[in-house]
């Protein structure tokens, strides 16, 4: 069993008795954890990503209970994603004009087959799926395969590029019915983080599967890259 560092033990002690909190209070506590570390304990030297983890009352083994989606958070996520686009003709020109990092057709597919994966999001126009389809074995396991449900297969590739550049995030429940989603950086203001968390949770509730019975949102936790989770009241 791996052992916790002194830093993590101290942080866990700080939140051991706080219980579940409202979003604003949870954000305030999370942002203050590093400040409360005693002298001699190393502080994190990079701007940590903040993530929401939600345990849902679903059965992900049932196809009609899989929860997935995408959302443009009000305040972005603190970094610009590297976006590639599979398109041709006018759509290719529109993708480049919208700020795609790389756009192309068969030559882009061949580049990926050769091992190039230096991107975060892949978008495709419907007429390019014949080119993109064979890449499923490479892109699928990495969560990079374009999908109509996620909005990454679209006739309006320019809008899709702009949304992901502005901080659009995707999520999908895991085998345990949990959803994890980045909602910003620890350097964000409390208001910015609170608005992002609130927007994500509202969206998650709006896409509850009709076949899901009982309590839908069971637990919510807010954490940064190098901190334990703070429980949010559901």
Instruction: Check residue 183 and give its pLDDT.
Output: 95
Instruction: Check residue 132 and give its pLDDT.
Output: 96
In this structure, the dihedral spanned by the alpha carbons of residues 134, 137, 138 and 139, taken in order and rounded to 10 degrees, is 80
For the chain, residues classed under CATH 3.30.190.20 are 15-77+169-232
CATH number attached to the domain at 15-77+169-232: 3.30.190.20
For the chain, residues classed under CATH 3.40.50.790 are 83-166
| Burial (0-12, 13-18, 19+ Cβ within 10 Å), 41 | middle
Instruction: Check residue 1 and give its pLDDT.
Output: 45
pTM comes to 0.79
CATH number attached to the domain at 83-166: 3.40.50.790
Instruction: Check residue 2 and give its pLDDT.
Output: 57
Residue 170's contacts (CB-CB under 8 Å, 6 or more residues apart) are 68, 69, 70, 143, 150
- pLDDT, block means (10 residues), the chain with 234 residues: 73 85 95 82 87 96 92 88 95 96 96 95 96 94 89 94 88 94 95 97 95 93 93 88
Instruction: Check residue 95 and give its pLDDT.
Output: 96
Instruction: Check residue 170 and give its pLDDT.
Output: 86
């Amino acid at each position: 069993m791996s052992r916790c560092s002194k830093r993590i033990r101290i942080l866990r002690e700080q939140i051991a008795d706080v219980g579940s909190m409202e979003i604003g209070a949870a954000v305030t506590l999370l942002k203050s954890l590093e400040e409360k570390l005693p002298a001699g304990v190393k502080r994190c030297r990079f701007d940590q990503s903040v993530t929401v983890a939600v345990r849902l009352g679903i059965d992900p083994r049932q196809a009609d209970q899989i929860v997935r989606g995408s959302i443009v958070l009000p305040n972005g996520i603190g970094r610009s994603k590297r976006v590639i686009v599979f398109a041709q003709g006018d759509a290719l020109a529109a993708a480049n004009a919208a700020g795609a990092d790389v756009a192309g057709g068969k030559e882009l597919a061949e580049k990926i087959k050769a091992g190039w994966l230096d991107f975060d999001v892949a978008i495709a126009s419907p007429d390019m799926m014949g080119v993109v389809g064979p890449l499923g074995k490479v892109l699928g396991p990495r969560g990079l395969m374009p999908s109509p449900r996620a909005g990454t297969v679209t006739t309006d590739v320019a809008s899709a590029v702009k949304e992901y550049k502005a901080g659009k995030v995707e999520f999908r429940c895991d085998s345990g019915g949990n959803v994890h989603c980045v909602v910003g950086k620890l350097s964000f203001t409390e208001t910015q983080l609170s608005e992002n968390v609130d927007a994500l949770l509202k969206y998650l509730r709006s896409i509850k599967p009709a076949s899901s019975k009982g309590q839908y949102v069971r637990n919510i936790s807010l954490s940064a890259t190098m901190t334990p989770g703070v429980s949010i009241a559901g």
